Structure 1
Amino acid sequence: MTCTSARTWLDIAPSPTRIMSIPPLPANTSLKGLSFLITGATAGLGYSTALLALQLGASPVYITARNAAKGTKTLESLLADPVVKAKNPNAKVEIYDLDMARWESVLAFGDKFVKDREAKGERLDIAVLNAGIAGVTWEQAPTGNEMMVQVNHLSTALLSLLLLPLLEKSTTPEHTARLTIVSSGMHLQRWGKLKQCPPANVNYLQTLNDKSRFDGLQRYGVSKMLVIFFVRYLAARISPDKVIVNNVCPGVVKTSINDRMPLWTWPILWMMGRGSNTPENGARAYIYGAAVVGKESQGQWYSCSKLRAYSDFVLSKEGEKMQEKEWKETMEVLEKVRPGVSNVVS
């Protein structure tokens, strides 16, 4: 990467003074009696969210891991927490294997998770889809798709649809099931912006698999914008009386997601991360979106536990066209992986 490109990123990086703090949760926040799923929970925000859910009384808490040994260590660490032992001593934590880079893993997890709940007569009250990656270099997933698009958007969309029928069945008069997906404020930045919807004869998702068109400074933001289009489309077609669907962003948080970044980016990441929120604080933003706000949050975006407006492009006429286009392109991909999966959305 040239120095010119680095200066461009520095120029558009959020300044430390713009990093927003995350307020405490309301004092009466409780997850007692609720089951809770968090993907990507062996480190960082996922781990901190699983821990906070347990501290607030959730059980069972389901976590996912790509590495079985790491998953076991995570389970032991969560249950050994003194607050959990004192306030939620009978809590249960279950681990599931999930690699969001592989179709077969997403399908296997979704199928097994749903079957396990049905066999045990259990509900799924809250699902937080957190697993995601960031990077600035080209990487192809085993599926053939660009890695960030695969993990952050396509696999997240597939998993959402696999879990949706279970979530709908889990809604009771006392509690409406929740599906909260992690997006990012990066869609507001220049590297994540689109200005117009591509022509009908251009498959935008396919263009993102063209290595020659890859822009490492834009791709993460673009992948998260695709997530936002998915959330908005899905939420508009699911009654909030059945499942509350929204998305959250914890703002700038120092986590292991940056471990994939090359050495030359570390000074930039350090500058962007000065004064950043901790994963423990970021977990509050997740819980706020998944458990504190109600039906009014359907299709909305909460950043640092505050309702925020989407980017101008997302809310524009071109953004509406893009949202419709990306739903159709995404369903075309997912239908090849699991025929009929889009039928869960009327």
Structure 2
Amino acid sequence: SLDSIILNAGVALPRARKTDSGQEEMFLVNYLSNVMLSTLLLNRRIVSRNRDSKDIKPRFLFISSDSHQGSSFIDYDEFGKYIDYGVNKGISHYSYYKLILNTYATELSRRLNKDGDEVEVGVNVICPGPVHSGIIKEAPFLLRKVLGAIFWVIFRSPKKAALPVVYMSISPDYEGRTNAYQHMFKHKEMDEKVYLPEEGKKLWGKSYELWDSIDPEAEILSPKL
């Protein structure tokens, strides 16, 4: 089974784009795909909870963004529905979906580690900071040129940005820890809404209801925790 799983699926789109399943692409990639993958890894025992106490405990590490701070509460009237948006809303939607992802990660940690004393599976979140990646490749031409110049001067290379990610995923400092958040190499708290148990519970239920509606013949849905 796997020891460390880094979930890094993410896109940033200048405008809404509908997928074949009917969801907006950024929501599906940045959030729901991470729910699906983590669920399947657990249910198929590719990530195993029941290990010998001497073994290294497995860890999930969700790649997020500190831009989630200050995003609004999750709107369940619009959750999973396709709603059109343009460039002005693209950035705020990216941050909002990261808040949803962080809320899911917190709830997953809560459910995997019910006893409170011993961590069976670490579930942590990191923002690697600004990275000079290809995430703006679909921005309008002029905006892409401007942002590209800024990225080149200010943002870190993927190689450097990966260092805190690798550290958090394998360091002994995080052995036996869960629901931790790091912004680059700095430990800090996520937005307070992420930690609300009622938000986590509701998101959990709505996420698996949505998955079921998209693929009612899915082999496995909610994790067997």
Q: The TM-score by the shorter chain falls in which range?
A: 0.7 to 0.9
Say whether 1:301 aligns with 2:181.
Answer: yes
Contact 1:250–1:304 (CA<8 Å) still a contact in 2? Answer: yes
Contact 2:127–2:183 (CA<8 Å) still a contact in 1? Answer: yes
The 1-side partners of 2:48 and 2:69 are apart by 32
Q: 1:247 to 1:171 in 2, by over 3 A?
A: farther
Aligned counterpart in structure 1 of residue 40 of structure 2, from 142, 157, 162: 162
Shift of 1:217: 2.6
Contact 2:74–2:100 (CA<8 Å) still a contact in 1? Answer: no
Aligned AA (1:344): K
Aligned AA (2:66): G
The 1-side partners of 2:56 and 2:140 are apart by 44
The 2-side partners of 1:197 and 1:169 are apart by 30
Aligned AA (1:258): I
Shift of 1:321: 3.9
Q: 1:149 to 1:197 in 2, by over 3 A?
A: closer
The 1-side partners of 2:9 and 2:175 are apart by 24
Aligned counterpart in structure 2 of residue 328 of structure 1, from 205, 211, 221: 205
Q: Which runs of 5+ in 2 are unaligned?
A: none
Contact 2:64–2:98 (CA<8 Å) still a contact in 1? Answer: yes
Contact 1:178–1:244 (CA<8 Å) still a contact in 2? Answer: yes
1:167 is paired with a residue whose SS is: coil
Say whether 1:186 aligns with 2:60.
Answer: no
Aligned AA (1:288): Y
Aligned AA (1:224): K
Larger radius of gyration: 1
Give matches, 1:182-221, under 5 Å: 182-188=63-69, 193-194=71-72, 196=73, 198=75, 202-207=76-81, 209-211=82-84, 215-221=89-95
Percent of counterpart pairs with the same letter?
A: 22
Aligned counterpart in structure 2 of residue 146 of structure 1, from 10, 15, 24: 24
Q: 1:276 to 1:160 in 2, by over 3 A?
A: same
Partner of 2:130: 252
Shift of 1:273: 5.8
Partner of 2:224: 344
Give the number of aligned pairs: 212
Shift of 1:197: 5.3
Shift of 1:151: 0.5
Aligned AA (2:110): A
The CA deviation string for residues 220-262 of structure 1, in whole angstroms up to 9 with x for no partner, is 1111111101100000111263211111111001011221222
Partner of 1:230: 104
The 2-side partners of 1:343 and 1:314 are apart by 20
Which structure's relative contact order is higher, taking Cα pairs within 8 Å and 6+ residues apart? Answer: 2
Q: Structure 1 length normalisation: TM-score?
A: 0.55
Contact 2:66–2:183 (CA<8 Å) still a contact in 1? Answer: yes
Q: Structure 2 length normalisation: TM-score?
A: 0.82
Say whether 1:283 aligns with 2:162.
Answer: yes
1:218 is paired with a residue whose SS is: helix
Q: 1:167 to 1:329 in 2, by over 3 A?
A: same
Q: Which runs of 5+ in 1 are unaligned?
A: 1-122
Aligned AA (1:262): P
RMSD (Å), alpha carbons: 2.5
Contact 1:125–1:170 (CA<8 Å) still a contact in 2? Answer: no
Contact 2:27–2:80 (CA<8 Å) still a contact in 1? Answer: no
Aligned AA (2:200): Q
